[in-house]
Every structure is written in structure tokens, then in C-alpha cells.
Amino acid sequence: MCHDRVTCLLGRFRSVKLHTAMCVNS
């Protein structure tokens, strides 16, 4: 469930596993 592409990019810097997983699953 990625709200914004920016969120995904920022997520990679913070929680790669968590945010990236959400983006891929979404």
C-alpha cells in the first residue's frame, strides 16, 4: 500500500524491508 512514490523512496532509506514490501505487494 504505497501512498506516494516519495514514500517508497524514503521508506528504502528507513525501513527497506517494511516499505518496499508494501510497495511490491500493493
Q: According to the model, what pLDDT value does residue 5 have?
A: 74
Query: Alpha carbon 5 to chain centroid distance?
Result: 8
- Measured distance CA(2)–CA(14) in Å, rounded: 15
pLDDT digits (tens, 9 = 90+) for 1-26: 456 777 767 766 666 666 666 666 55
Q: According to the model, what pLDDT value does residue 2 have?
A: 53
SS3 for the chain, per residue? Answer: CCCCHHHHHHHHHHCHHHHHHHHHHC
Q: According to the model, what pLDDT value does residue 6 have?
A: 75
pTM of the model: 0.25
Q: According to the model, what pLDDT value does residue 24 have?
A: 64
Spatial neighbors of 7 by CB under 8 A, at least 6 apart, are: 19
